[in-house]
Amino acid sequence: MAERVGRCRRETRETRVAVEWVLDGSGQADVHTGIGYLDHMLDALARHGLFDLHVQAEGDLHVDAHHTVEDVAIALGRALADAIGERRGVRRMGDATVPLDEALALVAVDLSGRGLATLDIPLRGPALGQLPTELVPHFFQSLAIEARITLHVHVLRGENDHHKVEACFKALAKALDWATSVDPRVADAVPSTKGVLR
């Protein structure tokens, strides 16, 4: 099977982002966004999805974190779409319910070819380290749109914002790992009655 690797470089007047996403990896992450908590979450995404992720970002963090978080999510989504390619032979759909102490998150994904996010992530505080909590749903939404996936992320319970968001990222990792995995029964077919996923 050909190596499934996606890449994206995005440069604007606000950010410079380079991403490489290896679907069939071993959980290695080399992530530097300038936002410590985001780095931590992307490391969890790689580790628990068994993806290899390389993310290098420089942004106008002296303004705020918005542009960097948004552009990292856009680049990750495009790299994921690139790695999946025509979406042949994959399982297509996956879901995971993941606990982290008192928090519990459910994530379901469909490599549908249509970017959509339905999110229920109630957070109490203004920020997680340098990451404003209002950017957490924006990250997932931007990722889903650019990856052309249907994404549902729901926090079922929890008290601690850190735990709730980390449970979401770990559940996303598990759901994506299953959805992007190759199903030998499908062979090289596109898993859709329409014959295409776009």
CATH of the domain at 73: 3.30.230.40
Per residue in 3-40, pLDDT tens? Answer: 899 999 999 999 999 999 999 999 999 999 999 999 99
Nearest of 116, 125, 120, 117 to residue 155 by alpha carbon: 120
Number of structural domains in the chain: 1
pLDDT of residue 88: 85
pLDDT at 63 over 80: yes
Do the domain assignments include residue 188? Answer: no
* 8 Å CB contact between 162 and 128: yes
pLDDT (mean) for 85-94: 92
Q: What single-letter DSSP state applies at residue 87?
A: -
pLDDT value at position 130?
96
Task: Evaluate if pTM is beyond 0.85.
Answer: yes
Q: Is the pLDDT of residue 47 over 70?
A: yes
In a domain, 150, yes or no: yes
